[in-house]
Amino acid sequence: MWKKVASEIDNPQDLYITVIWDEISLKYGFTYCSSSDKMIGFEDWGCKRKRKFADHVIVFYIRLLASGNQMPIGCGFCNGTTNAVQLKWCIQNWIYLLNTAGFKPVVTICDQDGTNMSAINTLITENNTRRSKKHQNPWKNVGASTVSRMLSTQVVGEGAEGERDKASADNIR
């Protein structure tokens, strides 16, 4: 569905988006949805439902940076505030889904609730750890060791005692 939405956007600058979420407190209430044959009002994350009454909803939506248009992308109902692990999972899944659809999330926006800050800090820590392992410069050590081997094996001339002299960095300059 999101690939279709992304393909219908005329301005390529509108593919750059902001992902926004906010949690809202609800009153307990139940509604029967005949199209999906479900009772709405219990904890529901789309992939799993629990028999707990929902008194909060977290809403995710995107804002297109060029035009400023906004559109909701999903929500999750929970009992109490969303825990940091569940929120982290939601953020990762929505950003992955939007990336694969062709959108380019550049900013995330949320309030400074403790759960939000905990989930964001966990994501930053995990991604920085992966990035530092993934993006280590493979040539950094190879280049230094190759240059030192070349310098130590290059024969400049014979010394007074018949030993080979080794080149130094001064010889290269």
Which two three-digit tokens encode residue 23?
Answer: 């949690």
Question: Using alpha carbons only, how large is the chain's radius of gyration in Å?
Answer: 28
pLDDT in tens, 106-150: 888 877 777 778 888 888 888 777 665 655 555 555 445 444 444
Query: Quick one: how many helices (H) and strands (E) in the chain?
Result: 5, 10
* Residues 157, 165 contacting (CB under 8 angstroms): yes
Q: Which pLDDT score is estimated for 170?
A: 59
* Contact between residue 82 and residue 57 where contact means Cβ atoms under 8 Å apart: no
30-86 confidence digits (pLDDT tens): 667 778 777 666 666 666 666 676 677 778 888 888 888 888 888 777 777 777 888
More confident of the two residues 147 and 13: 13
**pTM beyond cutoff 0.85:** no
